[in-house]
Chains A and B, each alone.
Chain A
Amino acid sequence: KQEVTQIPAALSVPEGENLVLNCSFTDSAIYNLQWFRQDPGKGLTSLLLIQSSQREQTSGRLNASLDKSSGRSTLYIAASQPGDSATYLCAVGDSSYKLIFGSGTRLLVRP
């Protein structure tokens, strides 16, 4: 059974810092991996989708990498801003297209 783990659970950084969020999964037979942002009491906003055949994907200040063989993905946020404060969720897509989520990393960027 696929298990997705995210560390750290929470992170507080000063504005401007570059940071890395980690995601690991137990079964490397994934179809894709998706990173989401969730603001308190709100829905999930898709940030990046990495296909199983890709190694990384970039969008603006965000860069996500995927290493299927080791069961890891990282989300790199460059030059963090207070508006980046949110919970970041990693989810892996399996053969039936459903997403299996991690518990998330709660990020606070201090002005």
Chain B
Amino acid sequence: EPEVTQTPSHQVTQMGQEVILRCVPISNHLYFYWYRQILGQKVEFLVSFYNNEISEKSEIFDDQFSVERPDGSNFTLKIRSTKLEDSAMYFCASSSMPYETVKAYNEQFFGPGTRLTVL
């Protein structure tokens, strides 16, 4: 069964360093998302991406964050200068939404996550 994959599973970095989290969405999906979950807190939306551009971003997704789909399979989240408070589990998700008339069918499938630890 197709699944979303993420690498690495765990990333440790020093404060101020840049990190890139990688995701391979399900192959025929068109919408891509990043969410994060700080330990003990709710899963929070960061950004959605469709047709090679950002569809929506939350207030968390500031200028330090960027997303890219560098090729036909990968979807990346870059944090330019990490802060201690960026430590969290980052989840990538994808969904298939080929037609506006079936927008209610937007079931999102999540990857296993990347645990980011900023020291």
Interface centre among A45, A51, A99, A103 (most CB of B within 10 A): A99
For B100-119 the 0/1 string (1 means CB < 8 A from A) is 00011111111111010000
The docked-state distance in angstroms from the alpha carbon of A28 to that of B77 is 32
Contact A98-B48, Cβ < 8 Å, known A31-B103, A43-B91, A52-B104: yes
Q: Which residues of A contact B55 (CB under 8 A)?
A: 96-97
B110 CB to nearest chain A CB (Å): 4
Q: Size range of the interface on B?
A: 20 to 34
**Is B65 an interface position by the 8 A CB rule?**
no
Q: In the complex the two chains form, is B91's CB within 8 Å of A49's CB?
A: no
Closest to B3 in A: A43
Query: How many residue-residue contacts, CB under 8 A, span A and B?
Result: 66
Q: Do the beta carbons of A43 and B111 come within 8 Å of each other?
A: yes
Chain B residues in 8 Å Cβ range of A101: 42-44
Q: Which of A46, A49, A98, A104 contacts B45 (CB 8 A)?
A: A98
Which residues from B are CB-within-8-Å of A76?
none
Residues of A within 8 A of B (CB): 31-32, 34, 36, 41-46, 49, 51-53, 89, 91, 93, 96-104
Binding site for A on B (CB under 8 A): 31, 33, 35, 41-45, 48, 55-56, 58, 91, 93, 95, 97, 103-113, 115
* Sampled A-B contacts (6; CB under 8 Å): A36-B110, A43-B91, A46-B108, A46-B110, A99-B33, A101-B44
